Amino acid sequence: MTTKTFKMGDRVRWDSQAAGIHAVKVGEVIMVVPPGATPEIKGAGMARAHESYVVLAKTDYSNRKRTYWPLVSKLELAP
């Protein structure tokens, strides 16, 4: 298993699916979350056992940005 690591300011992308709609999200890492911690963002859920990242990205349906806490396994560097 490859361990992915990113840093603040990295531009990342990931695939997302909700309500049967597939989307590709692209954003900037704005917070590195240490193992066992939970970021203070809406709907964050439970702490993760590994380093993770909060990303600021545009939504698909507007120009507004929101914060996401995607799974690290889904993230990759964006061009």
**pTM for this predicted structure:** 0.88
Query: Domain spans of the chain?
Result: 11-77
What is the reported pLDDT for 67?
A: 94
Predicted confidence (pLDDT) per residue in 61-78, tens digit = 677 899 999 999 999 999
Which tokens in the block code for residue 77?
Answer: 């560097």
Predicted confidence (pLDDT) per residue in 1-54, tens digit = 457 999 999 999 999 888 888 888 999 999 999 999 999 998 888 999 999 999
Long-range (24+ apart) CB contacts under 8 A made by 60-63 are 60/23, 60/25
75 and 12 Cβ atoms separated by less than 8 Å: yes
What is the reported pLDDT for 34?
A: 96
d(CA 74, CA 76): 7
